[in-house]
């Protein structure tokens, strides 16, 4: 999910041709980006965003402008989202709050997360929030979702990471979804990792083309990740291939591949995902900079 006041340097021209600064510059770190996605439900999204990216500050904000198309209809959407993060005890609490306005409806969103590093090797996340379902048909039906998630990461001395995630989604059309994931990842070399994932996801009923949820999906998949140096930057290639399992009443054919290229604070990425009865592709560009 997704203001500080800024003092800018001003040069004031005084009498007698003299100039003098009246305030020192407080230039924030900013981020901007573009996202494009399209899926087999006919949902096409173009989104632009700009916001602050002050890692040392507790509050940041992002503004999004989105064009969303589906079923021959296109809508414009504007969203303002704030993020507040502070240490609490041994961990951190993060609050996201936003307001979305488009050609069909207005809606507020929020999410609250607590995360804590346990000892030297473990990390736990707890989150709860409410969000919109961002398709044209979901906006027309006024559908949102409330989500609760628990995630636990354990790192071993032998470069093996074990991550367990459980998620419960409750949609406003009385559909519920449960998602469970277990991922075991081994670092083979400094630039190559291999993961073995098990995922289970189900919902009370299918909702396409309003939104996509798998029914009784149970998949074991292999997930390699390769990092390739590119001068001062790098390219990360991540793939996933189902080894066995089923989805929506048929054998799972899930596969995905994506890549991200990063040079300093500039990054560009793309991803393709496909499984039984559904596919999606997306790409993005992000740039962090100080203005």
Residue 105: inside a domain: yes
Give the CATH number for residue 228: 2.40.160.40
Tell me the CA distances in angstroms from 105 to 46, 91, 168, 256, one per residue in order: 18, 37, 25, 33
pLDDT band at 276 (very low <50, low <70, confident <90, very high): confident
Q: Are 249 and 215 in contact (CB under 8 A)?
A: yes
In 10 A of CB 222, how many CB atoms?
13
Q: Are 280 and 42 in contact (CB under 8 A)?
A: no
Q: Are 51 and 290 in contact (CB under 8 A)?
A: no
The number of distinct structural domains making up the chain is 1
pLDDT at 36 over 90: yes
pLDDT band at 5 (very low <50, low <70, confident <90, very high): very low
Q: Which of 36-40, 105-109, 117-121 has the lowest mean pLDDT?
A: 117-121
Residue 273: inside a domain: yes
pLDDT tens-digit profile of 200-246?
999 999 998 999 998 888 999 999 999 999 999 999 999 999 999 98
The 3-state secondary structure of 23-82 reads: ECCCCCEEEEEEEEEEECCCCEEEEEEEEECCCCCCEEEEEEEEEEEECCEEEEEEEEEE
Helix, strand or coil, per DSSP, at residue 180: strand
Q: Which one, of 116, 66, 108, 110, lies nearest residue 91 by Cα?
A: 116
pLDDT tens-digit profile of 160-203?
999 999 999 999 999 999 999 999 999 999 999 999 999 999 99
Residue 4: inside a domain: no
pLDDT at 20 over 60: no
Residue 226: inside a domain: yes
Cα atoms found within 13 Å of the Cα of residue 168, Cβ hemisphere only? 6
Residue 239: its pLDDT value, please?
A: 98
Q: What is the CA radius of gyration of the chain?
A: 22
Measured in degrees and rounded to the nearest 5, phi and psi for residue 140 equal: -65, -35
pLDDT at 247 over 80: no
Range of the domain at 185: 10-290
Residue 188: inside a domain: yes
In 10 A of CB 205, how many CB atoms?
11
pLDDT band at 29 (very low <50, low <70, confident <90, very high): confident
Residue 59: inside a domain: yes
| Angle ∠(212,216,221) on CA atoms, nearest 5 | 90
């Amino acid at each position: 999910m997704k203001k500080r006041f800024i003092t800018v340097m001003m040069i004031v021209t005084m009498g007698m041709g003299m100039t003098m600064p009246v305030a020192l510059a407080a230039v924030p770190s900013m981020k901007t980006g573009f996202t494009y996605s399209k899926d087999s439900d006919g949902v096409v999204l173009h989104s632009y965003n700009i916001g602050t990216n002050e890692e040392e500050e507790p509050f940041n904000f992002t503004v999004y402008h989105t064009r969303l198309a589906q079923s021959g209809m296109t809508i414009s959407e504007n969203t303002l989202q704030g993020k507040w993060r502070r240490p609490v005890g041994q961990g951190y609490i993060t609050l996201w709050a936003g307001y979305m306005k488009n050609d069909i409806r207005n809606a507020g969103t929020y999410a609250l997360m607590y995360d804590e590093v346990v000892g030297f090797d473990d990390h736990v996340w707890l989150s709860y929030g409410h969000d919109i379902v961002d398709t044209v048909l979901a906006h027309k039906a006024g559908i949102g979702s409330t989500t609760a998630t628990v995630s636990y990461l354990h790192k071993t001395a032998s470069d093996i990471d074990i991550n367990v995630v459980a998620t419960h989604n409750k949609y406003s059309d009385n559909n519920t979804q449960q998602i469970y994931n277990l991922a075991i990842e081994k670092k083979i070399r400094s630039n190559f990792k291999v993961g073995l994932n098990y995922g289970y996801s189900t919902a009370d009923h299918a909702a396409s083309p309003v939104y996509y949820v798998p029914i009784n999906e149970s998949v074991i998949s292999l997930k390699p990740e390769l990092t390739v140096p590119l001068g001062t930057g790098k390219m990360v290639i991540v793939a996933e291939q189902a080894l066995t399992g089923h989805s929506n009443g048929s054998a799972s054919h899930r596969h995905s591949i994506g890549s991200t290229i990063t040079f300093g604070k500039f990054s560009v990425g793309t991803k393709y995902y496909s499984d039984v009865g559904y596919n999606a592709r997306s790409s993005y560009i992000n740039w962090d900079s100080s203005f």
